[in-house]
Chains A and B, each alone.
Chain A
């Protein structure tokens, strides 16, 4: 049992109103990935891992880039995707405008997972090829290629 370093304070006041039979209002990040149903990976030590889809004022979190692209048809209108990159807090931003996807210049993608538990690790975006090379050197996986956005979308479409 963990014992918290309890601060020696003198007034504790606790009130609770009992609740029964109530509906849950889940925060988006608490939900599993809407596509693969696995937990969304968030806020790890050295890099961000959740993928955020912005559709109008709604934000939906996915486990990986593959999942969100696979699920994109559910959403009408223009979309923005924040895909974690090699830099914490600096995702690669993809945009779907009038049905056409665009990505920042130089951005490359990997889509080399075999099973969904690995999708967050091997379906990702990088701001440049060097970052991709460094990532794959650290996380080697068979068949990893630095894909352009068009190649990545085509890979997702055929799988």
Chain B
């Protein structure tokens, strides 16, 4: 590491400009940045960040050789505590990284033996071993402690000292699972792409102001999150916090809807007071990406009720390096090792509240059922939609005859009480002969079942991550006339299940029930609102009740 030393002492305000590690040009102020090995790294233009993420060491080495400085270390390397660069007493550039120091003494110590302070262990843990808390990025850590070749990042100022005194006390097998090779963390800077929907996170009403504290990294689908909001009185100063006085003692209720997806079932998330006056929390779950409206009714002591709304944009998928666990899990129970194709097998499942470690027994009804069971072959070309019943012990049970040997996705579309709808995924394996059907996803926009023919189209080209209108025109295949005589099944004119080729992303949609949609249904046209969270092939199953039977039409489309 010391072979290519590009050491130069610089005075505050006279440092060379930071360079893009990919192109070597000056860092632009309006592009994203990443974090790597405790340093923040900027880029000259969009696209460099993703290139850098592939081979960071290669780029850093090249810039070190060129004598460029490409990153700012987020911590004072001597005290190891997080430092705010504008408050630094001194800086030093060393091996392509700019270091900031809280005191001139620290800078002097660093200059004497920079490698001692700048060398980064080969492994790290963005996980506080003391409070057992994951840390989403280096910039969220308060300090770090190196122990036996691992850099442990701490969540707050009180954790470093006890860990340093007795690290072994904190290093349990569970904690050690968080040790890994350093990776490039996602962009924390300005988002290259503007938000697709309008967001409102600050609302003024009378002399009061409410602000939703959306996490810096944003909101993501499929995650349960407690989002805080603060209500302040703009005519008084807070005795402790910076800014206006927090308004305590408010009782609040919330309703969450999706403005752009009419008919999305509304959720009633819990709202609670936090211990700091003015701070409140809303327990949110976003089943998928898109725009959400959170209507709050705030009952302010001595004032009365005030209605306010926040609008938030929820991303489809959290970057892989910082994902969170699902709050619920679908377990297949007692799956027989000898489950064989062609014979009925009892499929028993349990929904587990992961945090409580207990079987979830309370569910809300969605489309007339508590549990919509979707099963698809791994290739997605075989599919069924069933509705198991819950037993006294909280398990769900239904006999299934699988058509061929192989792996099957088991999807539980459920709504744990008060928590909103979600799809939980499990997998089972069945012995038996290989499928006789085509196991490739062959693109097709025409499908037939039981004399019903469907033609799938989209009103506009599908854009990844955005709302799309998917239309299925239904015909009586015998004579080509529009199938205008479908009837409602499970409370809807039709059901559409959209599966990404990886089997891990499922979208479940129904036609709207407004006058326009109902008129279209009478013409044999079903219009669904869909969302395609990522590029790739999608298998689309549409189901309709037509002439006494449920018909299942399977399409396959590609989203680029």
Contact = CB atoms under 8 A, between A and B. Distances in A.
A17 interface: yes
Contact of B288 (A3, A13, A88, A89): A13
B300 to A, nearest CB: 10
Contacts of B239: 93
Query: Which of A2, A16, A30 has the most chain B CB within a 10 Å cutoff?
Result: A16
Given A6-B365, A77-B157, A42 B507 contact: no
Query: Which of B250, B275, B505 has the most chain A CB within a 10 Å cutoff?
Result: B275
Given A6-B366, A23-B178, A55 B156 contact: yes
A39 to B, nearest CB: 12
Contacts of B503: 18
Contacts of B323: 19, 22
Nearest to B409: A18
A99 interface: no
Contacts of A61: 275
Contacts of B38: none
Given A12-B509, A48-B275, A76-B157, A17 B317 contact: yes
Given A12-B265, A82-B276, A19 B326 contact: yes
A51 B274 CA distance: 9
Interface stretch (B64-72, B115-123, B127-135): B127-135
A93 to B, nearest CB: 6
Interface residues of A, number: 54
A129 interface: no
Nearest to A50: B275
B259 interface: no
Interface in A30-56: 30-31, 34, 42-43, 48, 50-52, 54-56
A114 B47 CA distance: 62
A56 to B, nearest CB: 6
B363 interface: yes
A1 B264 contact: no
A62 B159 CA distance: 16
B105 to A, nearest CB: 19
A70 interface: no
A59 B418 CA distance: 28
Contacts of B287: 13-16
B65 to A, nearest CB: 36
Interface stretch (B196-204, B331-339, B449-457, B525-533): B525-533
Given A17-B504, A19-B326, A87 B156 contact: no
A97 to B, nearest CB: 12
Nearest to B131: A34
B157 A13 contact: no
B222 to A, nearest CB: 5
Contacts of A1: 361-363, 370, 390
B190 interface: no
Contacts of B364: 2-4, 6
Contact of A52 (B161, B276, B325, B361): B276
Contacts of B83: none
A9 B533 contact: no
Interface stretch (B18-26, B28-36, B422-430): B422-430
Interface string B194-229: 000000000000000000000000000110011000
Nearest to B220: A17
B221 to A, nearest CB: 6
Given A11-B509, A11-B511, A89 B273 contact: yes
Contacts of A84: 275
A75 interface: yes
Contact of B421 (A14, A51, A75): A14
A11 B510 CA distance: 5
B58 to A, nearest CB: 28
A74 B165 CA distance: 12
A10 B505 contact: no
Contacts of A51: 275
A19 B362 CA distance: 23
Categorize the interface residue count of chain B.
Answer: 35 or more
Interface string B488-510: 00011000000000011111111
Interface in A89-110: 89-91, 93
Interface in B321-370: 323-326, 355, 361-367, 370
A97 B383 CA distance: 66
A75 to B, nearest CB: 4
Contacts of A23: 127, 134, 178, 324-325
A137 interface: no
B523 to A, nearest CB: 17
Nearest to B367: A12
Contacts of B413: 14
B277 A91 contact: yes
Contacts of A77: 157
Nearest to A3: B365
B155 interface: yes
B317 A80 contact: no
A54 to B, nearest CB: 7
Nearest to B159: A74
B145 to A, nearest CB: 15
A56 B362 contact: no
Contacts of A55: 156-158
Interface of B: 127, 131, 133-134, 136, 142, 155-159, 161-162, 178, 221-222, 225-226, 239-240, 247-250, 261-266, 272-277, 281, 287-289, 301, 316-317, 323-326, 355, 361-367, 370, 390, 413, 415, 417-418, 421-425, 491-492, 503-514, 517, 528-531, 533
29 contacts: A1-B361, A1-B370, A3-B364, A9-B266, A10-B262, A11-B261, A11-B511, A12-B508, A13-B261, A13-B507, A13-B531, A14-B506, A17-B505, A22-B323, A25-B134, A30-B226, A50-B274, A52-B274, A55-B158, A56-B142, A56-B156, A58-B142, A58-B158, A84-B275, A87-B249, A89-B247, A89-B277, A90-B248, A91-B277
Interface of A: 1-4, 6-19, 22-27, 29-31, 34, 42-43, 48, 50-52, 54-56, 58-61, 74-77, 80, 82, 84, 87-91, 93
